[in-house]
A and B are shown apart, each in its own frame.
Chain A
Amino acid sequence: MDGDRRKILRFIGKGSVLAAFLAQIGAAGRAFFPNVLYEPPSRFKLKKPDDYPDGYTLDEAHRLYVIKQKDAFHVISAICTHLGCNVQWRDTEFDCPCHGSRFRPDGTVIGGPAPRPLDWFATTVSPDGYLEVDSAKDVARDFQLVIGGNGKA
């Protein structure tokens, strides 16, 4: 039928224009999700193991604590698991200045609003002898990097 054909053609015509309009809105929205990020890599080098004193050392640039106990190393994130402020080591515990979260020396929660313990980052020694941290890898809470006489053990 002639009328039906017109209806279908009209539907296709209007529909395609409208679809293109909506698709462009979607495309414009997609532009706000960046494809390339100019952010530092999650894997980075710190200082050499010998450069750290015993105890808790803050690395301000990477927002983490390097903890050295004789030959054993581990790295705890200084970013509060509640809302992302920097926690501070106060000799016996970590405290957060934004909302009052408190953590034990191993990063587990004592009190305050933090929902989970501070991250422990995977730590290795790079071939050229620096501590290397992967902040994308959260490791078990008993992780220790023990450095013996010839590199690591």
Chain B
Amino acid sequence: MGAKFKALWRKTSWAWSPESDRESSEAIVKNFWLHWFPAKVARASMDWNYSFWLGTASASLLMILTVTGLMLMFFYVPSTERAYGSIKDLQYAVSFGRILRNQHRWAAEGMVAVVYIHMARVFFTGAYRGTRAINWVAGVVLFLVTLFLSFTGYLLPWDQLAFWAITVGTSIAKQAPFVGPTIQFLLLGGHEIGQQTLLRFYVLHVFFLPVLVWILFAYHMWRVRKDGGLAAVEGIRNARVMVPKATPKTKSYSLFGLTPGTSVAVMSSTGLEESDQVFSSPNMSRRIALVFLVVFNITLLAAILFNAPLEGLANPSVTPNPAKAPWYFVWLQELVASTTVRFGGYTVSGALLGGILLPGFLLAVLTAWPWLDRSPIRAQGRWLAPERKRQNMTFAIATLAIIILIMVGVYLRGPYWRIYWPGQPRPETPRLY
């Protein structure tokens, strides 16, 4: 019944259907929407438990952010007088404006998290060896641009969070050796935060940084294909080389006529075999659509349930007490607050040490990691390979340290940035801002 119905469906609704594998491949390669997929993709690459489809989830969030962001641009006015009011309008006067802004905000915070977890997945599976090292670097840059997008994004509502984040952020930039004051002047468009500052961060947020992310994203995808798919397939490729198949008896032509025996060519199969692969459409395209829909629904649900934060109107006279960065920057706030060192008459500000040098060092190590990695190549493409134990521990401990700093900043810091343990009473501070 099912097969008959399927045949009927084909006959009535399709003018053409692929008759061979070759035609199936061409149906993908010649299609505008599908041509950036390979015709075939390895089953191992699509394993839910290998990649958790975190890259696809990141790309889905990018898509959601681009579309909701474009919508928000119709309502937002990048002026210091009107920015805050236009956000209030979105919250209270525009139909579903609140949902739009909430979804943009939660997708943005989700993207920071998902991109980092995606990076952790690539690290723990050792999937950055050989030519994939270039794509690891592209990924690190993408993570960095994601953070800059988040930063420039939460400045736009021109609330207290925005004003004091710009104050602190550009003051850190000022601490950079030699070029610091110039960078601060360039970012602010003057010596003080004002209209020029908002406009500059606005154009960065809605044009330059998104375009950069999309270009890097396209490059990231292109490299995945050129590097031969996910590293998960390398194990299969190696297995094909290591274990020669039993070869059928053949006859080959020698100089002196027919010779029975085996031919040499069949001993070394290096690529993936038919049985390892499936057509990317519909096998992969359907899963991508599924991942997108799940991600979309999670962000939408969050948007319905939780309102994006909005503090009082920016006020240069009053600093919120305590003034906390969003969670993904709180660990940096902890670093700048605690890394000022004094020896003799010299003082090195935490702004330079914890705000620039230490994050810069972490970033350099992260970028260069594929070249520092001395683990055996066979460890790639597998979760938590024992050969990579020390490397994975290093990454895990660094991540844990950052999470602890975030926890301290978010939960323990109270007025005047003092530590208050759970249950310890916190002094009342005026909240008239």
Interface string of B326-366 (1 = CB under 8 A from A): 00000001001111100000011111000100000000000
Say whether, besides A34-B196, A114-B340, A98 and B347 are in contact (CB < 8 Å): no
Q: How far is the CB of B338 from chain A (nearest CB, A)?
A: 7
Neighbouring B residues of A82 by C-beta, 8 Å: 171, 336, 340, 349-351
Q: How many A-B contacts at CB < 8 Å in the complex?
A: 95
B283 at the interface (CB under 8 A from A): no
Say whether, besides A60-B318, A112-B340, A113-B350, A96 and B190 are in contact (CB < 8 Å): no
Q: For A113, give its contact among B186, B351, B418 (CB under 8 Å).
A: B351
A97 touches B321 (CB 8 A): yes
A108 at the interface (CB under 8 A from B): no
Q: How far is the CB of A104 from chain B (nearest CB, A)?
A: 15
A112 touches B337 (CB 8 A): yes
Q: How far is the CB of A113 from chain B (nearest CB, A)?
A: 4
Q: How far is the CB of A116 from chain B (nearest CB, A)?
A: 7
A17 at the interface (CB under 8 A from B): no
Binds B, one of A6-14, A48-56, A83-91, A137-145: A83-91
B319 touches A39 (CB 8 A): no
A20 at the interface (CB under 8 A from B): no
Q: How far is the CB of A76 from chain B (nearest CB, A)?
A: 16
Would you list 12 pairs from A and B whose C-beta atoms are within 8 A, ordered by A residue? A32-B186, A39-B191, A39-B194, A82-B349, A83-B168, A97-B415, A97-B429, A98-B164, A98-B337, A112-B337, A115-B349, A115-B351
Q: For A83, give its contact among B194, B318, B351, B415 (CB under 8 Å).
A: B351
Rounded to whole angstroms, the CA-CA distance of A26 and B191 in the bound complex is 22
Say whether, besides A32-B186, A85-B323, A115-B349, A96 and B171 are in contact (CB < 8 Å): no
Rounded to whole angstroms, the CA-CA distance of A85 and B333 in the bound complex is 13
Neighbouring A residues of B23 by C-beta, 8 Å: none
B416 touches A85 (CB 8 A): no
B348 touches A86 (CB 8 A): no
B347 touches A85 (CB 8 A): no
Q: Which 4 A-B pairs have the closest CB atoms?
A: A100-B417, A99-B337, A97-B321, A60-B317
Rounded to whole angstroms, the CA-CA distance of A62 and B252 in the bound complex is 94
Rounded to whole angstroms, the CA-CA distance of A39 and B316 in the bound complex is 14
Say whether, besides A32-B186, A82-B351, A85-B164, A95 and B416 are in contact (CB < 8 Å): yes
Neighbouring B residues of A95 by C-beta, 8 Å: 416
Interface string of B295-326 (1 = CB under 8 A from A): 00000000000000000000011111111000
B417 touches A97 (CB 8 A): yes
Most A CB contacts (10 A, CB to CB) among B171, B191, B333 go to B171
Q: For B167, give its contact among A34, A39, A83, A88 (CB under 8 Å).
A: A83
B contact residues vs A (CB 8 Å cutoff): 164, 167-168, 171-172, 185-186, 189-192, 194, 196, 316-323, 333, 336-340, 347-351, 355, 415-418, 429
Say whether, besides A60-B318, A84-B171, A113 and B337 are in contact (CB < 8 Å): yes
Q: How far is the CB of A46 from chain B (nearest CB, A)?
A: 15
Q: For B319, give its contact among A33, A98, A114 (CB under 8 Å).
A: A98
A116 touches B322 (CB 8 A): no
Q: For B350, give its contact among A84, A97, A99 (CB under 8 Å).
A: A99
Most B CB contacts (10 A, CB to CB) among A85, A88, A113, A115 go to A113
Rounded to whole angstroms, the CA-CA distance of A20 and B196 in the bound complex is 28
Neighbouring A residues of B168 by C-beta, 8 Å: 83-85, 98
Rounded to whole angstroms, the CA-CA distance of A82 and B319 in the bound complex is 14
Size category of the A interface is: 20 to 34
Neighbouring B residues of A83 by C-beta, 8 Å: 167-168, 171-172, 336, 351, 355
Neighbouring B residues of A96 by C-beta, 8 Å: 319, 416-417
Closest chain B residue to A58 by CB distance?
B317
Say whether, besides A112-B337, A113-B338, A97 and B347 are in contact (CB < 8 Å): no
A61 at the interface (CB under 8 A from B): yes
Q: For A63, give its contact among B316, B333, B348 (CB under 8 Å).
A: B316
Q: How far is the CB of B432 from chain A (nearest CB, A)?
A: 12
Q: How far is the CB of B177 from chain A (nearest CB, A)?
A: 14
Neighbouring B residues of A86 by C-beta, 8 Å: 317-319
Q: How far is the CB of A118 from chain B (nearest CB, A)?
A: 14
Q: How far is the CB of B191 from chain A (nearest CB, A)?
A: 6
A33 touches B349 (CB 8 A): no
Q: How far is the CB of B168 from chain A (nearest CB, A)?
A: 5
Neighbouring B residues of A113 by C-beta, 8 Å: 336-340, 349-351
A28 at the interface (CB under 8 A from B): no
B194 touches A97 (CB 8 A): no
Neighbouring B residues of A37 by C-beta, 8 Å: 190-191
Neighbouring A residues of B196 by C-beta, 8 Å: 34
Neighbouring A residues of B323 by C-beta, 8 Å: 85, 97-98
Rounded to whole angstroms, the CA-CA distance of A60 and B315 in the bound complex is 10
